[in-house]
Amino acid sequence: MSHPQTTFRQTTFTAPSLLLTRRLTVSRTTVHAQLAQLRANGQYDCFKLGWHPIYDDRSRWPAPLHLFWDSDVAKWIEGACYFLVDEYDVEVDAAVRELVAMIRGAQHEDGYLNVHFSVVEPGKRWTNVRDMHEMYNAGHLIEAALAHRQYYRNDLLMDPIEKYISHIHRRFGPGKDQVRAYPGHPEIELALLRCYSATGNTEAYDLARFFLEERGNPTGQDGKHYYDWEMERRDEPRWKRPNSWPMDRSYWYCQAHVPILEQESVEGHAVRAMYLLTAAADLLNISQGSSTSSTGTGNSITPVRPLTAAPDWLAALRRLWSNMVDKKMYLTGGVGAVAQWEGFGIDYFLPQGPDEGGCYAETCASVGVMMLAERLLHADGPEPNGRYADIMELCLYNNVMTAMSADGKAFTYENQLASCEAARSEREDWFVCACCPPNVTRLFGSLGGYLWDYGGTSDVGEGATKEAFVNVHLYTSAEVKFQVGEAEVTFSQKSNWPWEGNILFQLKGAETLDTTIRLRIPAWATQHGHVLTPTPPVGTATLEKGGYLRLDPSYTASNSVFSLDVGAASFAPRYIAPHPYTNQRTLSLARGPIVYCVEDADHPWEENHFKDVGIKRATAVEEEWRVDEKSGEGYFALKTKGWERSPEVLARGEDGVERELVFVPFYFRSNRGGKGQMRVGLRDDGR
Amino acid sequence: MSHPQTTFRQTTFTAPSLLLTRRLTVSRTTVHAQLAQLRANGQYDCFKLGWHPIYDDRSRWPAPLHLFWDSDVAKWIEGACYFLVDEYDVEVDAAVRELVAMIRGAQHEDGYLNVHFSVVEPGKRWTNVRDMHEMYNAGHLIEAALAHRQYYRNDLLMDPIEKYISHIHRRFGPGKDQVRAYPGHPEIELALLRCYSATGNTEAYDLARFFLEERGNPTGQDGKHYYDWEMERRDEPRWKRPNSWPMDRSYWYCQAHVPILEQESVEGHAVRAMYLLTAAADLLNISQGSSTSSTGTGNSITPVRPLTAAPDWLAALRRLWSNMVDKKMYLTGGVGAVAQWEGFGIDYFLPQGPDEGGCYAETCASVGVMMLAERLLHADGPEPNGRYADIMELCLYNNVMTAMSADGKAFTYENQLASCEAARSEREDWFVCACCPPNVTRLFGSLGGYLWDYGGTSDVGEGATKEAFVNVHLYTSAEVKFQVGEAEVTFSQKSNWPWEGNILFQLKGAETLDTTIRLRIPAWATQHGHVLTPTPPVGTATLEKGGYLRLDPSYTASNSVFSLDVGAASFAPRYIAPHPYTNQRTLSLARGPIVYCVEDADHPWEENHFKDVGIKRATAVEEEWRVDEKSGEGYFALKTKGWERSPEVLARGEDGVERELVFVPFYFRSNRGGKGQMRVGLRDDGR
């Protein structure tokens, strides 16, 4: 099987689109700005293994801030390699080469490779797998090595990384001389499985599978939970616990409270949960032979040992996904209601902002949701299920895209749905824990890999008809090229998505193939119907149960050019609201996949973060195409009336002050100055 | 000044009333049931200083469960002594005597007196004042000694307790050989100030004042916060912290994050906050010479040193009270939205139940609110302010009274406004941490002291007119006797409160006095007006700004019998709702001071804890007088229509299923069987 991080190279973004605009910004600005941050803050040189003043800081326990530096460097390398494919850049190329040389130089004889435990606490490696992020850093190094190998076509980074994998593989596992650990911050699992898929490294597969199967075992190590065993070896009382743990032994924080297959609800740190479940889906996909583009650069390696519990893994993934999407996700695709553990609260606990009791909605978490959704599109049954792609798109255009300014230089970590005095709607140049900005880079770098799945079967025997397929998950303007046997297929889409719902498709080079194409009809568009042009003869285009319109080979054979229109009505502004059990009696506006917010930039009279403004579901909404002066970006603004009513006015049952309201896309917030006051969900004032 | 725990003896509950019913139940059943629990669980014998198997349990850190046993015994003694006044009981008397003998026998030579540090950790006394509840236990022993001395008129318990106070006074304070500690669980402060008021013990006053003034000092001990200093002496890392602390150094948990005078909002453990502020109000009252019944048994002792910061203390008390009542109190008078620290959440964070993100509303906390309100009635200006008495009554009839079953044998600790599967609406016989049940006993025992303030001035010089006053805070049927100079005044009230709003008053023995009487008009009754009979001549009855109707001496002189009617309209059922910023878009029913709930006992069709039921503000409500078969208790039930609408039905905008709903007083919940499903606030379906 293959991954978006591998297949993206086959896709080219073509005509102007919001996605292409963002990709160009990241490529030309963000990659450089982030490199400058690495240089300015010390990360760039960390693999030289010199001392940095920040290493003296002992105020953060258990994980000092520099603990993540290995991953900061690795994630930048990975993102940079993705964008070098698009556009060569001499400064970026030189930096990658220098960083790789430093990483190589930092490796120990035995393969070990970690800055903190080489420089700051050399005697303590692997003594705290729960908290010290060694495996997390290793995972990102693996991902960097995969990207590096793909772009540079050499093993300068992969060689030391495979040596490091062997080191870890020797140490951890079910063997007599091994310990049964698994990382406190999952990440390495998905990296190892990508590595296995790309290189066939069976140590990587075995290690990832062990981590996934062993996680949460209550009696794994000498009859004890591994983290208990390890804590006792450190002579640490169980009540000494990280500030992110509300209680002692809060192992649910890192999804280690029970084995994954026994987990009933998605819990704890949201990024860790998404990375872990993405790996679980990879494990399943490898077992099922699920493929993205089976004729692409991905390998079709069968697993070393069959995964007999595959149905249980599928059931767990479906269960945890549904729990998250149905009960623990904001309207914007944000997940993680609780700041303390940067993660999931109880079911339906989704306050809009910190002054209302929560909302974290970390950028990385929604990037993780997109990765998981992409994996589940292949794992969950033979036909793709649009509910995964719908959420993937929701996250992309809202909680992920809102994390970067239009100029590509400022970022968010948390993405509250409502600002307050203590958490204004603002972006920062960088963060001391800098996980989010490079994750946006990595995501946009490999975005082409998320648009569609495709492939074909060319080995069905002499004379048999060859088959090809394309499943289109996301709409934009782009083209993909792939090989099926001798045939070089080109498939393209062209649209003004996310603003308009008509898409033109063209299929080339598939004349010798039976080609099936599936087009996703988003859930928010289904009620309005759709039009395929040319009109398909009866029985040649079927709306599948999973929400995809399937075009049979008979249709694609006679129509190499065709268009889909999900209808202007689907792109009319619509009111959306959270589940009633959230106790959020709010209304928001959406249009197509875009969720909107109000900002004080359009409403200078606002002083209370729109806490006192309500809207009514029956009020007409107008739309206006705006072009932002500073960025030159265009978007539809939405206009409607609202009613400002203080608590006192509400108590008296009065109407309050009628206000003209302007809504802008949530992703575009905080690009136009103002006081940082913003809100997605306004008080629901009924009809 | 004097306290309700002292003055209650002057009040007799007369004709049948809800309050008298509860007092009789506590006296005849609860006191015995709780004694049986103490005997069954080990507390009864703990002052024998033998070993108990529970002492081996090391699973709870820092405070093992038996740490509170001293206070369990002390609180029972205190409550028992209050009820012995009403009705002698040979078993109760014998138990008090035996317990006192055991306590005397447990005291060390140097005055120290604590079970845990005598038996379990003898070397560690006073090494962890933050967590180990030594002072909390001492405080309850002081309160027990005061009640014991008052009833038995001997010092068998007071003697060792005063010796213990001296011991503590020697050790803690600003002196060179002392340490600047203050208890992690405030309680001793209010006990010491009561002790000072009752006995004139200046060590008690000094100690309490030191604790109150020193609390939260960031540099109190050797330039450090005392709890930091103490923690370092124990060689404890700051990240080793109790499970009730979400973060390290969460000193706001016990109101020690900053000095009390600098606290802007009420934070942390709600019971601790209430006990602490009650003591602060006592400190202020002593300084101001504020008095309850200045001619009662209370002393009028002037403070040893003037409290120059008195205005700051008053400002802090007003500020913290308002923050609590306006932003952190449930409709039932419950406080404490967060279970982890049994205390206050952020402003307006008031979910109804654990499955919605919170609600603790501990019984003890509302008992504490009542104590604080009673103190503030004397502290906050010359005229009583009805907002304190309104809240005192709200807590009494709702969050406090709901904590005991009608039969007096079962109790609650938490008082959620909505049940869920994990927290059904049920009561328990007892708790491993048994603070709440004896607090209900103590409160009902001293309840007479909360009804009214009274007194007079008899020292205004030969020949001058003597003056008397009664401020009536709570209505029921009761009589108070007090002395003003030679005159023995008797004042009585008779009513069917809380069901009806007409009260008959009679004043006797005040013929030689100029008597001013103030009658509270509850805030929920003011809009309906009130009628005084006989009609007062112009200028003889004035509604004061604080919400009390002041009857001048000219009126009381000519009307020794009179009646107040706050109006039937005030007792009509009314809809109430939380503040809109709580995001609780719910409606509840109230009638007079009683807040209502729905229970599955009346609605056998209910399966989802009334989560899907809404009511409309314009729907008529009928009332029905019911007499409960089992308990024989009568109450008004309320009946209206509601609409059951599942989330799906709501999403479709449909009407749902119309339901006949029956509401019963929240205090009466869980007395009639059923599945434990209950809710106070139902979905607000508008008009």
What is the least distance, in Å, from the CA of B334 to any CA of chain A?
Answer: 19
What is the least distance, in Å, from the CA of B621 to any CA of chain A?
Answer: 20
Q: In what order do the strands lie in the sheet with B466-472?
A: B452-457, B466-472, B513-520, B548-551, B541-543
A97-106, A311-320, A462-471: range with lowest mean pLDDT? A462-471
pLDDT value of residue A304:
64
Q: Decide which of B297 and B479 is more confident.
A: B479
Among chain B residues, CA nearest to A344? B357
At B445, list the tokens: 């025992």
CB A566 within 8 A of CB A501: yes
Classify strands B561-565 and B531-533 as parallel, antiparallel or unpaired: antiparallel
Mean pLDDT of B632-641: 97
Q: Decide which of B686 and A362 is more confident.
A: A362
Using the Cα atoms of residue B621, residue B623, residue B629 and residue B633 in order, give the sign of their dihedral: positive
| Band of residue A460 on the pLDDT scale cut at 50, 70, 90 | low
What is the least distance, in Å, from the CA of B368 to any CA of chain A?
Answer: 25
Mean pLDDT of A647-673: 95
Mean pLDDT of B502-523: 96
Model confidence, pTM: 0.95
- On the question of pLDDT at A289 being above 90, the answer is no
B176-180, B526-530, B653-657: range with lowest mean pLDDT? B526-530
pLDDT value of residue A294:
42
- Asked if the bond preceding A498 is cis, omega within 30° of 0, the reply is yes
pLDDT value of residue A429:
85
pLDDT value of residue B293:
43
pLDDT value of residue A431:
79
Mean pLDDT of B522-531: 90
Q: Decide which of B381 and B561 is more confident.
A: B561
| Band of residue A288 on the pLDDT scale cut at 50, 70, 90 | confident
Residue A277's alpha-carbon distances to A146, A263, A281, A316, A414, in angstroms, are 20, 11, 6, 9, 21
Mean pLDDT of A471-493: 96
CB A565 within 8 A of CB A501: yes
The three-state (H, E, C) secondary structure of B111-142, written as one string:
CCCCCHHHHCCHHHCCCCCCCCCHHHHHHHHH
Enumerate the residues of chain A whose CB falls inside 8 A of the CB of residue B246: 243, 246, 340
Mean pLDDT of A484-499: 96
A511: number of Cβ within 10 Å: 11
pLDDT value of residue A458:
63
pLDDT value of residue B301:
55
Note the pLDDT tens digit of each residue in A536-579: 999 999 999 999 999 999 999 999 999 999 988 999 999 999 99
Enumerate the residues of chain A whose CB falls inside 8 A of the CB of residue B587: none
Chain A with chain B: Cβ pairs closer than 8 A: 75
Among chain A residues, CA nearest to B245? A246
pLDDT value of residue A422:
95
Phi/psi-derived region of residue A196, left when phi > 0, alpha when psi is between -120 and 50, beta in every other case: alpha
CB B649 within 8 A of CB B628: no
CB A323 within 8 A of CB A265: yes
Give the residue numbers in A contacting B (CB under 8 Å), as ranges: 61-62, 237, 239-243, 246-248, 340, 345-349, 351, 355-358, 579-581, 583-585, 611, 647, 650, 683, 686
At A329, list the tokens: 């996700």
Separation of alpha carbons B299 and A550, rounded Å: 90
What is the least distance, in Å, from the CA of B22 to any CA of chain A?
Answer: 35
What is the least distance, in Å, from the CA of B640 to any CA of chain A?
Answer: 21
Enumerate the residues of chain B whose CB falls inside 8 A of the CB of residue A242: 239
Judged on CB neighbours under 10 Å (0-12, 13-18, 19+), A241 is buried
Note the pLDDT tens digit of each residue in A241-261: 999 999 999 999 999 999 999
| Band of residue A587 on the pLDDT scale cut at 50, 70, 90 | very high
Half-sphere exposure of A182 (CA within 13 A, CB side): 30
Percent of chain A with pLDDT over 90: 90
CB A221 within 8 A of CB B221: no
Task: Please name every residue paired with B179 in a beta bridge, in sequence order, or none if there are none.
Answer: B172
Mean pLDDT of B228-255: 96
CB A330 within 8 A of CB A338: no
B53: number of Cβ within 10 Å: 8
Separation of alpha carbons A285 and A276, rounded Å: 14
| Band of residue B96 on the pLDDT scale cut at 50, 70, 90 | very high
| Band of residue A432 on the pLDDT scale cut at 50, 70, 90 | confident
**Treating both helix axes as pointing N-terminal to C-terminal, what angle do B270-288 and B363-379 enclose, rounded to 10 degrees?**
20
Q: Please name which of A499, A445, A446, A452 lies closest in space to residue A471, comparing C-alpha atoms.
A: A452
User: Is A347 within 8 Å of B355 when comparing Cβ atoms?
Assistant: yes
At B480, list the tokens: 């108070």
pLDDT value of residue B528:
79
- On the question of pLDDT at A380 being above 90, the answer is no
Q: Which residues contact B544 (CB under 8 A, 6 or more apart)?
A: B383, B518, B550
User: Is B348 within 8 Å of A356 when comparing Cβ atoms?
Assistant: yes
Mean pLDDT of A108-119: 98
pLDDT value of residue A463:
65
- On the question of pLDDT at B460 being above 80, the answer is no
Phi/psi-derived region of residue B66, left when phi > 0, alpha when psi is between -120 and 50, beta in every other case: alpha
Mean pLDDT of B589-609: 97
Q: What is the DSSP string of A650-668?
A: HHTT---EEEEEEEEEGGG
pLDDT value of residue B395:
98
pLDDT value of residue A303:
55
Q: Please name which of B242, B174, B237 lies closest in space to residue B211, comparing C-alpha atoms.
A: B174
CB A3 within 8 A of CB A298: yes
Enumerate the residues of chain A whose CB falls inside 8 A of the CB of residue B245: none
Note the pLDDT tens digit of each residue in B274-333: 999 999 999 999 998 865 444 333 445 555 688 999 999 999 999 999 999 999 999 999
- On the question of pLDDT at A291 being above 60, the answer is no
A167-171, B380-384, B579-583: range with lowest mean pLDDT? B380-384
- On the question of pLDDT at A298 being above 80, the answer is no
pLDDT value of residue A526:
81
CA B93 to centroid of chain Cα atoms: 26
Judged on CB neighbours under 10 Å (0-12, 13-18, 19+), A223 is exposed
The end-to-end CA distance of chain A, in Å, is 50
| Band of residue A299 on the pLDDT scale cut at 50, 70, 90 | very low
- On the question of pLDDT at B627 being above 90, the answer is yes
Residue type, A164: Y
- On the question of pLDDT at B257 being above 90, the answer is yes
Q: Please name which of A596, A503, A513, A496 lies closest in space to residue A557, comparing C-alpha atoms.
A: A513
The torsion angles phi and psi of A83, rounded to 5 degrees, stand at -80, -25
Enumerate the residues of chain A whose CB falls inside 8 A of the CB of residue B355: 346-347
ipTM: 0.93
- Which of B240, B265, B650 is the best substitution to test chain A (most A C-beta atoms within 10 A)? B240
pLDDT value of residue A53:
96
Q: Which residues contact A234 (CB under 8 A, 6 or more apart)?
A: A127, A128
pLDDT value of residue B606:
97
Which of B241, B242, B346 minimises the CB distance to A357? B346
Separation of alpha carbons A421 and A404, rounded Å: 21
- Which of A60, A234, A240, A244 is the best substitution to test chain B (most B C-beta atoms within 10 A)? A240
The end-to-end CA distance of chain B, in Å, is 50
What is the least distance, in Å, from the CA of A186 to any CA of chain B?
Answer: 24
